[in-house]
Chains A and B, each alone.
Chain A
């Protein structure tokens, strides 16, 4: 069934990074204020709230987060639910918001995402992240998160000849794009040589193949066709939304060179939108590791299997290329506060589509796609958005 009436009317993120002295609830409230008061959407118009956060239980010892966050953000009293799907927590919250508007139950809802990660030790973060994989059968053998993507990288290198340098080029591109993004964690270009520094995390993945540990929040307001024009002259329509799951264990998948949940989620989003990969001008994909970006661009159908690395080498995925990927810097350089990421990706697509991406603006911006996946790729959400006048 095609989506009929859900529009993004505003969206914002906090700065991502190690935000010392700024707590979980303060970050979300900042993003909410930017997406409501500062964007011309009065808070009293919001009818329900959908929030994505991954693991505040282990990271900041806090459960029951939805009312806690709303209370501080001036939205006390509204129906509030927390959504969790590891790194896709933000996008599953967004999908819940989309379904709430499409159903006709509400006309205006807020979607938020937040994670506070830097107030505990790196070991504690590693442990909290590992909870997104199968504790009994994969984490328990000593497989780490970077290790999961390293297994995919080795399979991709073996089948298609992808190299460590190809992956490093993704990091170089991410840092180049983030250099002009004032909200990014790393606003500095890096050389290929630096990206190739042989500091292995999980061979063949090195330090610069990995997204960082970050704090941050993002929020956006969804509105129905009845109300959208009241808030903005440039609403963005969500025309397709797909979600799929896959085996938690990599051992349960027949092919490690592709993430089957990404393929399934993108195919259902394209079908819903009645569009093909050729129709999409640019994409924001889940580059938690550099190899994840290469595989994601193949899985969403932008490039044939095995040709994602070639597209990076040839500059096709650069900000001014034919198919820009992560024009603002991706998870790799903007940062990856887990629960905020999926919402931030939607905010980035929204800003690009309305031409408000500043120095990170892509040249052609009628239709954009976001791809957010969780954990070992066991959850994937793909949304396709179109400027209402395009």
Chain B
């Protein structure tokens, strides 16, 4: 946990199913996705931190028309999730029928997990808590 966080390492952690967030070494703010400077205090020293994996749904959409890379996966849900640590991530949302979006309620509690796409890529994916 002592190495300096990089964008490459952040992405690799997701691919390996070992998500970690960044933490500002000066003020402790949790930062996702990576930034070079903390907008809370202006500090530019970052370290890794583990997150609780708890979050809530901020917004979502169901993608029906996608570029080639994701076309075999439609329809799929993309969501903005606010982590318990107050930072937000853009991720997949699982555990719902993408053809019944009206059933998905903003603000519901979610837990962090992973989902392997047909491309073989691992996505951050949340499901209902």
| B27 interface residue per 8 A CB criterion | no
Interface residues of B in 24-54 (CB under 8 A from A): 32-33
Interface residues of A in 126-141 (CB under 8 A from B): 126-127, 130, 134, 136-138, 140-141
| A272 interface residue per 8 A CB criterion | no
Query: Quick check: B59 and A151 within 8 Å, CB to CB?
Result: yes
> Known: A151-B59, A154-B60, A154-B106. Is A203-B90 also a contact (CB below 8 A)?
no
Which of A140, A141, A200, A205 has the most CB atoms of chain B within a 10 A radius of its CB?
A141
Chain B hits for A153, CB < 8 A: 61
> Known: A142-B70, A256-B58, A256-B80. Is A251-B89 also a contact (CB below 8 A)?
yes
| 17 A-B residue pairs with CB within 8 Å | A123-B68, A126-B65, A126-B66, A130-B67, A137-B33, A137-B90, A141-B124, A142-B92, A143-B63, A144-B67, A146-B65, A151-B59, A158-B106, A204-B61, A249-B33, A250-B90, A251-B89
| A58 interface residue per 8 A CB criterion | no
| B7 interface residue per 8 A CB criterion | yes
6 additional contacts (CB under 8 A) given A202-B64, A251-B80, A252-B88? A130-B67, A137-B90, A142-B78, A151-B60, A151-B78, A203-B101
Which of B65, B91, B123 has the most CB atoms of chain A within a 10 A radius of its CB?
B65
Query: Quick check: A138 and B65 within 8 Å, CB to CB?
Result: no
The residue of chain B having its C-beta at the shortest distance from the C-beta of A129 within the complex is B67
Chain A hits for B76, CB < 8 A: 142
Identify the B interface with A (CB < 8 A): 7, 11, 32-33, 58-70, 73, 75-76, 78, 80, 88-92, 101, 106, 117, 121, 123-124
The residue of chain B having its C-beta at the shortest distance from the C-beta of A207 within the complex is B65
- B122 smallest CB distance to A (angstroms): 11
- B103 smallest CB distance to A (angstroms): 12
The residue of chain A having its C-beta at the shortest distance from the C-beta of B88 within the complex is A251
Cross-chain contact of B117 among A142, A154, A155 (Cβ < 8 A):
A142
Chain A hits for B11, CB < 8 A: 136
Chain B hits for A249, CB < 8 A: 33, 90
- A36 smallest CB distance to B (angstroms): 39
How many residues on chain A are close to B (CB under 8 Å)? Answer: 33
Cross-chain contact of A155 among B33, B58, B78 (Cβ < 8 A):
B58
Which of B64, B68, B92, B101 has the most CB atoms of chain A within a 10 A radius of its CB?
B64
| A150 interface residue per 8 A CB criterion | yes
Query: Quick check: A142 and B59 within 8 Å, CB to CB?
Result: no
Query: Quick check: A141 and B61 within 8 Å, CB to CB?
Result: no
| A315 interface residue per 8 A CB criterion | no
Chain B hits for A136, CB < 8 A: 7, 11, 33
Which of A142, A146, A200, A252 has the most CB atoms of chain B within a 10 A radius of its CB?
A142
- A377 smallest CB distance to B (angstroms): 14
Query: Quick check: A200 and B64 within 8 Å, CB to CB?
Result: yes
Chain A hits for B75, CB < 8 A: 200, 203
